[in-house]
Structure 1
């Protein structure tokens, strides 16, 4: 079994829109959708189970459940697929762009007076399950804080499987999971 890694720092940032100006590969595949979780988003079994476990964990602590966001899911999927195809593991994009700019390109802040986004990522052997992913994040103070942030309203999830991932993955078979969190109002 391959080692399991969670990023060392969960990313979270808030900013006022006035302070910000925006400026399918072979061997990499999205997990097969198991069911429709919302009218616009289909999640794989791993993603759907992880969403359920995250919301159960939040509920046990008196926190509201997170709504599945099609836009945050698109951001998460793009990031997981990019990391798998290009062989890097980072909150930043492959071109060095910050995570919040990447998320904002999917989950816009235009028209909202308050916007915030955060992200948890991990990579593991292909047999990672929702319980294992949640345990990794809950055992990391930064990831735990992100998961249990009372401000989050929405979430996007993506689990991408790569049969032979390049770069930091050493050609190994891996699953890369991205959870993007947000609120805007």
Structure 2
């Protein structure tokens, strides 16, 4: 058999294999793209779940025999970070401003239902703020610390004078997209962030009950914002000895 004929025959046999190899490469490329897309969705889902985390401790109205004697009106809890901020292209959020916005919005919801507004308690707010920072620093989300200390233990460190207490916590993000009820939103102002956190609590029956309990006299909000925009919020409610 002549050389030209062998060459032609070889090309005829190889051509289908070349096409098949190209098809395999295309399919493999599509699979890689699909895997990357699925991983991206998974990561986004994890962030979305984290952005909507809330927690509430039940209302404790039983007598507490070792209630701390009230100290100064502005006693500061150990670990209180004071004000924290987070800046981004569209603006900046300030934890102190967010705390006051949350306090005002909670009182709006209470008075709209015929309940007394909560007085702002600086000591209770300091306890809340210290807990928010501790959750951020040690990467947990709970009313109980890794050592097992709960809200009552934190109250005992200061002269709060609370006879009974309630606590709501929440976590969200500032300046970054989060999923809220199937819609993507970005909190770029103190007002937007505060409204988002209060809405999270109001949409949860246990947190809503804490927020709208008719026996609370005072409360304090503590917000801590991390360097990457993660927001931890704690709202403590107080019933004094005279109630």
What TM-score do the two structures reach when normalised by structure 2? Answer: 0.59
Q: Which runs of no fewer than 5 residues in structure 1 stay unpaired?
A: 33-42, 165-172
Q: Distance in 1 between matches of 2:139 and 2:226?
A: 10
The Cα offsets for residues 72-106 of structure 1, whole Å up to 9 and x where unpaired, read as 01100110011111111100123211222212322
- Quick one: structure 1 residues 108 and 131, their matched pair in 2 at CA, closer, same or farther if it must change by over 3 Å? closer
Deviation digits for residues 120-151 of structure 1 (CA, Å, limit 9, x no counterpart): 00001124511111110000000000000001
Partner of residue 169, structure 2: 121
Q: Who wins on radius of gyration, i.e. which is larger?
A: 2
Partner of 1:57: 109
Aligned to 1:15: 62
Tell me the TM-score normalized by structure 1: 0.76
* Count of residue pairs the alignment pairs up: 159
Structure 2 portions without partners, runs of 5+: 1-43, 69-77, 86-94, 176-186, 188-192
Higher helix share: 2
1:141-175 alpha-carbon deviations (Å, 9 max, x no partner): 000000000010111111101125xxxxxxxx410
**100-109 or 73-82, larger mean C-alpha shift:** 100-109
Q: Using CA pairs under 8 Å that are at least 6 residues apart, name the structure with larger relative contact order, 1 or 2.
A: 1
CA RMSD of aligned residues (A): 2.5
Runs ≥4 in structure 1, deviation > 4 angstroms? none
